[in-house]
Amino acid sequence: MSDVMGKMEAAGGLAVTTGVDVNAAVERLRSEGVPAKVAAKDATLWGPEAEEEAAIRLGWVDTFVKSKELLAPLAKLRAELNEQGIDHIALAGMGGSSLAPEVISRTLDLGISILDTTDPGQILAELGEDSLRRTAVVVSSKSGSTVETDSQRRAFEKAFEAIGITEHAGRFVFVTDPGSALEELATKQGSHLFLADATVGGRYSALTAFGLVPTALAGADVAELIEQAEAFAATIGSEDDDPAVVLGAVIAAKPTITIADDGTGVVGLGDWAEQLIAESLGKDGKGTLPVVLEGPAAAGARGSDRVYATVGGSSTGLPTSGSALAMPDVVVNGPLGAQFLAWELATAYAGYLIGIDPFNQPNVTESKNNTNRILADGLPDERPHAVDGAVEIYGSHSTTVAGALGELLTDADSEHAYIAVLAYLDRIDDADVAKLRAELADRTGAPVTWGWGPRFLHSTGQFHKGGRQTGVFLQLTGEVEQDLEIPGRDYTFAGLQAAQAAGDRQALESRERPLVRLHLTDRKRGVNQILHAVRELS
């Protein structure tokens, strides 16, 4: 970027400051009336093929108005739960149902347990008796049929019964679209029910019931989030400053955008933005790849093929010290409610600039369908090419972990290539393995994304299959020490997790992309072994 952050637009409490030359794109958006048309929910903006989908997916532009109706019933329910000694919220949800609540929870330190996983160890950790007795479970699914969410609900029901809480309907709070199977179940068993705005797609649902119900029940002042979004909405299409237009132009400017918290109050927004951008823009063989960084200036932040963005809650957002070389390419600062709406608008604008329908997700169901087939027919018969210590190696000609990683890095040495690490592990107990992202980025210079499976299937999974076909994939799986049954199903959580990993492999292999799988026969030893191996690479 330039030595000076050349362009700053601030309105509605949020500022976007950038040194990237996006003047032509900003002028195009304004001259073609795109912001005003988005505000008017004009479904024709993204072309005739996108019109049918856009016509039923633009409610997010002003959904915060409808969300005000949630405030009184949520306050009432929270008081009722607290009177019963229930002061902890566990959230069973995936993708758009979990990522916005996670950002709100982390930013406000609410302590919500986010269960967007099928790893039995991670789920078992939430089923201890002491925790359960003070827990209400929010079950969130737009369709009402999400397999992970349904499986988690069944596990909680059995766990409640095991500790003598047989009348547990009041412990469940359902969030879903009108007419879904989940609405029918909630009504049938007498559980709490909140219906979401059906005109809002999952990844744009931060300010609907999906984002607000679990966080309000955990103690968040969601009215303030709504107010922040409403204040920012007044800036849409402004002839003066319109920060979302600048941000949209920045997102569309390069093949990759790297995102880090700047440490000024908003925590974890990159994980939510990752899903929003990847699912909205990663299709038709093109799009912008989002990469979430561990912190400012983390490995892989910069490159000629990417824009480096920082996100925070301060009013200025600009670093107060350090050289121009330490400056990000774009700084996005403002309150969380405004951030949600700004990034949603910016992604819709970027879709217009790139020529992509930002509301469909044509490849998301592919791995899901593969998983269902594997659950019915059984896991494929796969044998490791080699075993190195606590790691089985699949899809590589090498007999060592270091050699397999070296092969993968060679495949990543091409124009616009990126590395995606797909970890079907426990993101709490196996958290150390996430250090691998920065290690690989440091050694290759390529963009490196990190995904916890199956969480990423509802996020970057769309980009992997539908975006530019330059990905190089490292899948990590592991042995399970203690499995967990899924009541009413003929498979366990470990079986579901293994089927999801296998289904995703099949989807990637069908595209003939480089893929290596490392299976940890001992998770802790295997994690240490992989990290040691990558650090030994030259």
List, for residues 405-424, the tens digit of each pLDDT value: 999 999 998 888 999 999 99
Closest-CA residue to 102 (of 114, 90, 94): 114
Residues 30-57 have pLDDT tens digits of: 999 999 999 999 999 999 999 999 999 9
Note whether 236 and 242 are within 8 A (CB). yes
CA distance 318 to 327: 8
Averaged pLDDT, 225-249: 93
Residue whose pair of structure tokens reads 């796969």 in the numeric block: 382
Residue type, 330: V
Residue 368, C-beta contacts closer than 8 angstroms, at least 6 positions apart: 147, 457, 503
Q: What is the pLDDT of residue 8?
A: 84
Residues 319-352 have pLDDT tens digits of: 444 445 568 999 999 999 999 999 999 999 999 9
Question: Residue 149 burial (CB < 10 Å; 0-12/13-18/19+)?
Answer: buried
Phi, psi dihedral angles at 402 (to 5 degrees): -60, -40
Averaged pLDDT, 118-146: 97
Note whether 120 and 186 are within 8 A (CB). no
Coil, strand, or helix at residue 108? Answer: helix
CA distance 63 to 227: 12
Note whether 100 and 205 are within 8 A (CB). yes
Note whether 55 and 78 are within 8 A (CB). no
- The overall average pLDDT reported for the chain is 95
Coil, strand, or helix at residue 93? Answer: coil
CA distance 16 to 8: 6
Taking the CB of residue 169, how many other CB atoms lie within 10 A of it? 13
CA distance 6 to 45: 29
CA distance 248 to 191: 41
Stated pTM of the model: 0.96
Antiparallel, parallel or unpaired: β 471-478 and 418-423: parallel
Rg from Cα positions in the chain: 23
Within 13 Å of residue 142, how many CA atoms lie on the same side as its CB? 20
Take residue 233 and report the two structure tokens written for it: 């909405």
Q: What is the pLDDT of residue 315?
A: 66
